[in-house]
Amino acid sequence: MKTNLNLIGMEKGRQYETIITTKNSKNIKNAAPIGVICAGENKILNRIFKGSHTLENIISQKEFIVNITHDPNLFTVSLLGNLPEEYFNEDNSLKCADAYFKCNVISLTEAVKQSDPIKKNGEAIVIKSKVTELVINRPTHAMNRGFAYVIESLANLTRFDMVNDDKKEEYIKRFREANRVVVKVGYKEDIKAMHEIKKELIKKGYKP
């Protein structure tokens, strides 16, 4: 049985965006977009805020499924409502997932990360889990937000000299936020690219 997360492009220390599917004690299925930090070949971490069905179900069932997809509508529908029953397989994975892996909870810890914009103590739980089975339906890489931010920051850079001072300040603010996210979740190549963009903005006389 496969359990190695490297097979879907996941690297230790990086964060990926996924759809986690869970069940409650009455077998009611739930899906929600949730970030997953790869903590090793077959270990992951999640930080989930209290109040979500996903957290309640993980605490009560001690197991869940991480679905890998690049479908924007799947992320949107599962965030804004819930996915209809017909989206789920018998084992609670998503039918249209490129890949999915089953997880068993190892530990649950109250935690707040200081760098996060949301800082209320005791509002989130960090969950450490072990991957028990990885199923790859088609070759795929788990979704990482870093690259999209690099492209967005490059696009803004090309417009920088064409806009007024207010818009320039807005681009600088957007760059800072993009850089914060890339440093947190991106690959080293993404971080290097953001560093180069930052140097260009400094050359233009700004402090990004």
Ligand X SMILES: Cc1cc2nc3c(=O)[nH]c(=O)nc-3n(C[C@H](O)[C@H](O)[C@H](O)COP(=O)(O)O)c2cc1C
Binding stretches for ligand X (CB under 6 A): 17, 30, 32-35, 46-49, 52-54, 75, 79
Nearer to ligand X, 47 or 168 (CB): 47
Asked if residues 83 and 53 have their Cβ atoms less than 8 Å apart, the reply is no
Q: How far is the CB of 27 from ligand X (least distance, A)?
A: 16
User: Is there a contact between 41 and 6 (Cβ–Cβ < 8 Å)?
Assistant: yes
Looking at the Cβ atoms of 77 and 183, the one nearer to ligand X is: 77
CB of 92 to ligand X, least distance (A): 14
Please identify, using beta-carbon distances, which residue of 30 and 129 lies nearer to ligand X: 30
Minimum CB separation of residue 31 from ligand X in Å reads 7
Which residues neighbour 111 within 8 Å (Cβ) at sequence distance 6 or greater? Answer: 47, 124, 125, 126
Q: How far apart are CA 83 and CA 91, in angstroms?
A: 15
Please give the full DSSP string across 40-96, using - where no structure is assigned. Answer: ETTEEEEEEETT-HHHHHHHHHSEEEEEE---HHHHHHHHHS---GGGB-TTS-BTT
The residue among 34 and 131 lying less far from ligand X, judged by its C-beta, is 34
Least Cβ distance, residue 49 to ligand X (angstroms): 4
